[in-house]
Structure 1
């Protein structure tokens, strides 16, 4: 699903941003978008948070076997 890939991409972006905060004390999103309380930054933080919630649902989904998959 496309939404799964978008959510996963946003979650990875969020994880990389948190990694840069933890390692270097540098918030890349805030730097690029006008500070932590800037409107664009807050929208990005919200989208990353929603993507994280969506990714939680991916953990509990049953996967359908792919046709022709020898392991199924």
Structure 2
């Protein structure tokens, strides 16, 4: 993940936390830090959070790069498991040198 996407994700998280504070406690942290909702800095932060959210839409719809693909298994039609139907070596005979 690139630096721009990480920054966008951090801004989206900040926006989500701010909306959570507004919903649960009726407290707008960005507005209180930057001088109210109509202040230029607060509106700039809101705009950056909105841009970060738009960039995160690309992360949402991006396919997984880290997905592991299972290797294709070979199919053996006639394996020899050395059962009673197969030939077994005779180890009782001496080896010829």
Matched residues in 2 for 1:2 and 1:45: separation?
20
Structure label with greater radius of gyration: 2
- The correspondence of residues 15-54 of structure 1 with structure 2, limited to 5 A, is 15-54=16-55
Higher relative contact order (CA 8 A, sep 6+): 1
Give deviations 1:10-32, integer Å, cap 9, x for gaps.
00000000000000000000000
Q: Which structure has more helix as a fraction of its residues?
A: 1
Q: Report runs of 4+ in structure 1 exceeding 3 Å deviation.
A: none
Structure 2 length-normalised TM: 0.66
Check if 1:14 corresponds to 2:15. yes
For structure 1, which runs of at least 5 residues remain unmatched after alignment? 66-70
For structure 2, which runs of at least 5 residues remain unmatched after alignment? 69-97
